[in-house]
Chains A and B, each alone.
Chain A
Amino acid sequence: MGTGGAALGAAFLASVVEVVEAFTIILAVGTVQGWRPAVGGSLAGLLVLALIVAAFGPVLQLIPIHALQLTVGVLLLLFGMRWLRKAVLRRAGLIPQRDELTAYAGQAAYLITEASRKNTRLDWLAGVATFKAVLLEGLEVVFIVIAVGAARGLLWPASLGALAACALVLLVGLALRRPLAQVPENTLKFAVGVMLSAFGVFWTGEGLGVAWPGEDLALVFFAAMFLLVALAAARAVAPLRAEAPQ
């Protein structure tokens, strides 16, 4: 598997996580308030995303490759390690695991409470909620696609991975019409954190002019390194929480 396959896989897994989260909010809004504001807000979010991609996409072509690798690599390191840190803390029991059923119930309750508290039209709140969900989760997908793909002309496989994830989640979600709680989201987040951090070290090093031994295979080495360290860290700190006074 070359970097093309790794970029496709990383973009696919990361996008599954993001789209599942957005889908939960859209489903909660659609169920509570009907599908018109849910779909309207989602389409508005997609439109803004498309405008952002259309505006900033061509700029990538103008940046020299080493500068692009370094910039994208550092941003990916920050983003990936943030993600991996949270995944380790979740695995160690230091922060709660993400649960789509809880997120769904929370979103539905939020909509109802906000509407009564502020005496606002629920349609407007519902539309804003799906707009924000699609825009924020979509921005993360766009960033991941650019980050794993742009530094070496791998935008197509990365985009393909993201599109496949969107199609899969939407098809399964529309068929089931309930939150996708069966998706092993926390495990996926752990895996994605490992992959993004590995890409981050790889691109940053290439941006600095480091010729990694084994070339693309170095990516596998970095992924294994982050996986082992993250698993060991989760195992090491888990007893600390158990011992802490409640």
Chain B
Amino acid sequence: MNRLAPLGRKLAGFFVDDAFLGGATVASVLAASLCRAALATRPLIAGALLAGGCVLALTLSVVRAAARPPT
């Protein structure tokens, strides 16, 4: 079973290996969903929020990784 432990870890990290990026991506989707519900006649605003949020999440995640001291 010990040999399968890395398999489980890899499966868990299949979608998220940086908590900040994962959290920020989900937050972008939630914000876009709320915006879509609140502004039902203007769905494009929700789309723009989604795309912009994801781009921002990616950029901030990269900057955070770069700012970390080398290990």
Interface residues of A (CB under 8 A from B): 74-75, 77-79, 81-82, 84-86, 88-89, 92, 94, 128, 132, 135-136, 139-140, 143, 197, 200-201, 204-205, 208-213, 222, 225-226, 229-230, 233-234, 236-237, 240-241, 244-246
Contacts and interface: CB of A to CB of B under 8 A. Distances in A.
B46 A241 contact: no
Given A77-B25, A222-B51, A229-B59, A246 B70 contact: yes
Contacts of B15: 75, 78-79, 82
B70 A244 contact: yes
B58 A204 contact: no
Interface in B6-63: 6-7, 10-11, 14-18, 21-22, 25-26, 29, 32-33, 36, 43-44, 46-47, 50-51, 54-55, 57-59, 61-63
Nearest to B30: A74
A96 to B, nearest CB: 12
Given A74-B26, A79-B15, A197-B54, A209 B66 contact: no
A140 B13 CA distance: 12
A81 B21 contact: yes
A240 B66 contact: yes
B62 A237 contact: yes
A136 B6 CA distance: 11
A209 B70 CA distance: 43
B46 A210 contact: yes
Interface of B: 3, 6-7, 10-11, 14-18, 21-22, 25-26, 29, 32-33, 36, 43-44, 46-47, 50-51, 54-55, 57-59, 61-63, 65-67, 69-70
Contact of A233 (B10, B46, B59): B59
B3 A128 contact: yes
23 contacts: A78-B16, A79-B15, A81-B21, A81-B58, A82-B18, A135-B7, A136-B7, A140-B14, A197-B58, A204-B50, A205-B46, A205-B51, A208-B46, A208-B50, A209-B43, A210-B44, A211-B43, A226-B55, A226-B58, A230-B58, A233-B59, A233-B62, A244-B70
A225 B66 contact: no
A82 B17 contact: yes
A233 B55 CA distance: 10
B16 A82 contact: yes
Contacts of B61: 81, 85
A74 B66 contact: no
A166 to B, nearest CB: 20
Given A237-B62, A237-B63, A208 B36 contact: yes
B51 A233 contact: no
Most chain-A Cβ atoms within 10 A of its Cβ — which of B11, B25, B58, B67? Answer: B58
Nearest to A209: B43
A225 B51 contact: yes
A225 B55 contact: yes
B51 A136 contact: no
A77 B54 contact: yes
